[in-house]
Structure 1
Amino acid sequence: MATAAIAAPSTERHARRAPLEIWHLLSLDAPTVAAVWAAFFAASFHVALPWTAPLALALAVWIFYAADRLSDAQHEASSLEDRHRFHAQHSRGFFVAIGFAVPAVLVLLVELPHTVRIAWLLLVLPLMSYAAAVHWLRLRVPKEWMVGLFFAIAVAAPCLLNKDHVAEWLCAAAFGTLCWLNCVRIARAESAATDRATAWAIDHFSGITLAFAIANAAIALVLPQARGVALALVAAALLLLALDLLEPRTSAVRMRALADAALLTPLLLWPLLRYLA
């Protein structure tokens, strides 16, 4: 089986993993980004959001990512990255953790505001369709675009449901674009693209990302209510650009972890949020 074949090559490498790489290999990076941005969106737009909401979102995202990587490890042994080998080697532990995480998410969902709960539950069907297309039908789905779309909807949903302002929708679209740029940056490091648009973006990554940063700087100037989110987006884009300086000296797994860590800029701006609006 694929699991047995890929477990051995990575065994000796795990002992030397840096904490940032372990964070990525455990599939904790995407859940952390989702939880941080969901809470930051709510704080920026003054939407009351219980602490259980980011936690539920983080657990749900972790379940999806861990299951996705476990499935990849079973069926794509010829094109696996370190994260897939890690999941294959520790598959039993991941399955046990998923078994505990699923009921925990269900319990947390019950405590969420009704509109938020419905909005997130409505994402399940398209997510399952996406998983079926990728893992069962073996279709080449533009993953980078899908990640941006789902993350934008999931993170911004509590704000979009409570507000009817241009700023919230604009910031949601911008955040989705940032997630897409993050995936493009990772695809560039791994020399992998799932569609022509991503391949083109890889070749023009610096220009696109710089334009994105400038556009969000303009949003911060024009829309004071969006300033916190827009500046966090600018900072994240600039960090993704800065990774070009590290790429020649950084492994693919560390570059992927750094690319995800670059999206945690709300943690830097949170103490200043009250002064930005």
Structure 2
Amino acid sequence: MATTAIVAPSTERHARRAPLEIWHLLSLDAPTVAAVWAAFFAASFHVVLPWTAPLALALAVWIFYAADRLGDAQHEASSLEDRHRFHAEHAWGFFVAIGFALPTVLVLLVELPHTVRIAWLLLVIPLIAYAAAVHWLKVRVPKEWMVGLFFAIAIAAPCLLHKDHVAEWLCAAAFGILCWLNCVRIARAESATTDPATTWAVEHFRGITLAFALANAAIALFLPQARGVALALMAAALLLRGLDRLEPRVSAVRMRALTDAALLTPLLLWPLLRYLA
């Protein structure tokens, strides 16, 4: 009876969800960000990347996020967010979808350039270690830093493997910081942090995002080859900063979706990319 009491009202809320919220609840937000930025990095630095690469990365990220949220859903109900409850209520659907996604990723990986395939496969090892530490050993891991590190490596790997320029490495590091700021913004909304640095960043979020935006403006000014990525990073940081003004008027699940949607700024700059370098 207790389970029914929790699930029924939540299911009723799902019927009224906006498309942006459904996008988030289905764990499609992080995969979309990963695919868009991987393709944008490659286009910005003139690296030929087959269309299967962003798709494979998106599916792999979705599998990890969906599995992670299914694992989180095993915790106490009072500590769960809407995304965790949604995964718990539709667990079988997610398990079936993961079952189809896994072999699809393996097929797509075969078509990737050898170096990119190896780099992405090597990331699986620390990801499994992270999942084991969090869900099996119950270790408190500073996930905000982990997200920034893994996303930066995965997104920038195709470019870093083909070129050895300062611009690519600088943009990769900046993108990792943006992903960390995205997690900080979520922690700010949910009042949940895992390490002192994130706690400090939550308290000084507006100043940090403004400084990050200005730093990327300088990169765009002095490194023309990085201009497209730097401007997209700057715009995303300013959008994250601006979400503070919306927070009192927006539900938690919509704020989480908007926080991830703020990272899709490459879609706005893509038509101008040829003129930015």
Distance in 2 (alpha carbons) for counterparts of 1:199 and 1:156: 27
Distance in 2 (alpha carbons) for counterparts of 1:114 and 1:215: 34
| Residue number in structure 1 paired with 2:200 | 200
| 1:7 positional shift | 2.8
| 1:74 positional shift | 1.6
| Residue number in structure 1 paired with 2:89 | 89
| Residue number in structure 1 paired with 2:266 | 266
Secondary structure of 1:246's match? helix
| 1:9 positional shift | 3.9
* 1:223 and 2:218 matched: no
Distance in 2 (alpha carbons) for counterparts of 1:112 and 1:3: 45
Q: 1:123-134 alignment to 2 at 5 Å?
A: 123-134=123-134
| 1:136 positional shift | 0.5
| Residue number in structure 2 paired with 1:20 | 20
| Residue number in structure 2 paired with 1:71 | 71
Secondary structure of 1:193's match? coil
Q: 1:174-253 alignment to 2 at 5 Å?
A: 174-253=174-253
Give the TM-score normalised by the residue count of structure 1.
0.98
Return the letter of the residue paired with 1:179.
C
Q: Classify 1:3/1:123 alpha carbon distance in 2 versus 1 (closer, same or farther; 3 Å).
A: farther
Question: Could you give the per-residue CA deviations for residues 116-147 of structure 1, whole angstroms, max 9, x where no partner exists?
Answer: 00000000000000001100010110010000
Q: Classify 1:3/1:272 alpha carbon distance in 2 versus 1 (closer, same or farther; 3 Å).
A: farther
CA RMSD of aligned residues (A): 1.3
Distance in 1 (alpha carbons) for counterparts of 2:227 and 2:6: 46
Distance in 2 (alpha carbons) for counterparts of 1:185 and 1:249: 16
| Residue number in structure 1 paired with 2:173 | 173
Distance in 2 (alpha carbons) for counterparts of 1:2 and 1:111: 48
| Residue number in structure 2 paired with 1:105 | 105
| Residue number in structure 2 paired with 1:144 | 144
Return the letter of the residue paired with 1:34.
A
Return the letter of the residue paired with 1:10.
S
Question: Could you give the per-residue CA deviations for residues 24-61 of structure 1, whole angstroms, max 9, x where no partner exists?
Answer: 00000000000000000000000000000000000000
| 1:245 positional shift | 1.2
Q: Deviating runs (4+, > 2 A) in structure 1? A: 1-9, 75-78
Distance in 2 (alpha carbons) for counterparts of 1:111 and 1:191: 42
Distance in 2 (alpha carbons) for counterparts of 1:125 and 1:170: 25
| Residue number in structure 1 paired with 2:162 | 162
* 1:34 and 2:56 matched: no
| Residue number in structure 2 paired with 1:48 | 48
| Residue number in structure 1 paired with 2:8 | 8
Q: Classify 1:4/1:164 alpha carbon distance in 2 versus 1 (closer, same or farther; 3 Å).
A: farther
Return the letter of the residue paired with 1:185.
R
Asked if the contact 1:3/1:89 (under 8 Å) is kept, the reply is: no
Question: Could you give the per-residue CA deviations for residues 168-199 of structure 1, whole angstroms, max 9, x where no partner exists?
Answer: 00000000000000000011001110111111
Asked if the contact 1:160/1:168 (under 8 Å) is kept, the reply is: yes
Q: Classify 1:136/1:3 alpha carbon distance in 2 versus 1 (closer, same or farther; 3 Å).
A: farther
Return the letter of the residue paired with 1:237.
A
Give the TM-score normalised by the residue count of structure 2.
0.98
Q: Classify 1:140/1:3 alpha carbon distance in 2 versus 1 (closer, same or farther; 3 Å).
A: farther
Asked if the contact 1:6/1:88 (under 8 Å) is kept, the reply is: no
Distance in 2 (alpha carbons) for counterparts of 1:172 and 1:136: 31
Asked if the contact 1:2/1:77 (under 8 Å) is kept, the reply is: no
Which deviates more from structure 2 when the two are superposed, residues 33-42 or residues 75-84?
A: 75-84
